[in-house]
């Protein structure tokens, strides 16, 4: 819907909704994207990566492995999720650079910035 743009879907990748000017560049393997609203931008989803919601001008650059992102609201930006990393909420202009191994981030609100979470690290708020 709107001027949504999808460039490549390879394998059993699944995209459910693109609303507004959302842009998706690559979905490789069994990656799954559920909703992209506003001007959300997703660059790569590889293997079984899963993205549930991108709202506003949220931007996601790479999801590799079984990484899972649940919500990106506002102008949140996520650069890399590797391994089984999981991000639950990024609100406001929060920025996350790397989540590696089984690291987990639950909430980033306001203009919070996280640079690295490695190997089973858990950040709650």
pLDDT 10s digits, 30-43: 889 999 989 989 99
Cα atoms in the Cβ-side hemisphere of radius 13 Å centred on 92: 8
Q: Where are the domains of the chain?
A: 5-123
Spans of the chain below 70 pLDDT: 1, 121, 124-125
Per the CB < 8 A criterion, the answer to whether 73 and 94 are in contact is no
């Amino acid at each position: 819907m709107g001027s949504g743009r999808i460039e490549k879907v390879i394998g059993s990748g699944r995209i459910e909704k693109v609303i507004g000017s959302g842009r998706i560049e690559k979905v490789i393997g069994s990656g799954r994207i559920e909703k992209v609203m506003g001007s959300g931008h997703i660059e790569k989803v590889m293997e079984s990566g899963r993205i549930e919601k991108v709202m506003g001008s949220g931007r996601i650059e790479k999801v590799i492995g079984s990484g899972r992102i649940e919500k990106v609201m506002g102008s949140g930006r996520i650069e890399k999720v590797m391994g089984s990393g999981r991000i639950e909420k990024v609100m406001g202009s929060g920025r996350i650079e790397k989540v590696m191994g089984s690291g987990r981030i639950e909430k980033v609100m306001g203009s919070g910035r996280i640079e690295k979470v490695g190997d089973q690290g858990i950040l709650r708020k």
